[in-house]
A = this chain, B = another copy of it.
Amino acid sequence: MNLSRPLLLASNSPRRKELLTGLGLEYTVRVKEVHEEFPAHLKRAEVAEFLASHKADAYLDALQDEVIITADTIVCLGDRVLNKPQSHHEAAEMLRALSGTSHDVITGVCLLSREGKTVFHDITKVYFKALSQSEIDFYTNHYKPFDKAGAYGIQEWIGMVGIERIEGSYFNVVGLPVQKLYTHLVALGIVTV
């Protein structure tokens, strides 16, 4: 595999770093803090794409030859968007809401270069079994729900014991739709195999 220009991942997520490494690509990480607000009229997939695109805007003024990769993952339960929980109580409440039903995980991605922006998203449907209160307590006490939208990591204990099935890309739920990302990087001539 060859890269025609440098990749810059604008995310501190260890999961996104691992996934981009798994794609066999070299990259550097540079993160700028961005306020994650979005217009209230946006629909779900538009929210994920807006936030990814908005994160990329922070890099617009100093672009050189590199391609900036930004991403934002949201968890949607019906019309409700679940963010990162702010407390143990809120994490448990989110998991109770996800219990015994399905929700959608949407990751928006933005590729920014001097030539312009490419923005896309992927959606995965996730089905949780009915979680017991002791399972929810065990997870929130022993794992890290606080840095994750929807208060769970699919790759953690709760994902292993609680998720019966998914429809779509697993890696999209982890935080980066690597198959679609690869396809766009190839289409843009940035990656060749």
- Interface flags for A129-160 (1: CB within 8 Å of B; 0: not) read 10010110010001000000000001111001
Q: Which residues does chain B contribute within 8 Å of A22, judged by CB atoms?
A: 155-157, 160
Give 19 CB contacts A-B under 8 Å. A22-B157, A23-B160, A23-B161, A24-B142, A24-B157, A129-B179, A138-B193, A154-B170, A160-B178, A160-B179, A161-B179, A161-B182, A163-B169, A163-B179, A164-B169, A165-B167, A165-B169, A166-B167, A170-B170
When each residue 31-46 of chain A gets 1 if its CB lies under 8 Å from chain B and 0 otherwise, what string results? 0000000000000000
Tell me how many chains of this kind the complex includes: 2
Q: Shortest CB–CB separation between residue A67 and chain B, in angstroms?
A: 17
**CB of A171 closer than 8 Å to a CB of B:** yes
With beta carbons under 8 angstroms apart, the residue of B129, B161, B169 that contacts A178 is: B161
What separation, in Å, do the CA atoms of A135 and B192 have in the docked complex? 10
Residues of A bordering B, CB below 8 Å: 1, 19, 22-24, 124, 129, 132, 134-135, 138, 142, 154-157, 160-171, 178-179, 182-183, 193
Chain B residues lying within 8 Å of A162, measured Cβ to Cβ, are: 179
Q: What separation, in Å, do the CA atoms of A156 and B156 have in the docked complex?
A: 18
CB distance from A147 to the nearest CB of B (A): 18
A22-B160, A129-B183, A166-B168 known, 5 other contacts, Cβ within 8 Å? A132-B193, A138-B193, A154-B170, A160-B171, A167-B167
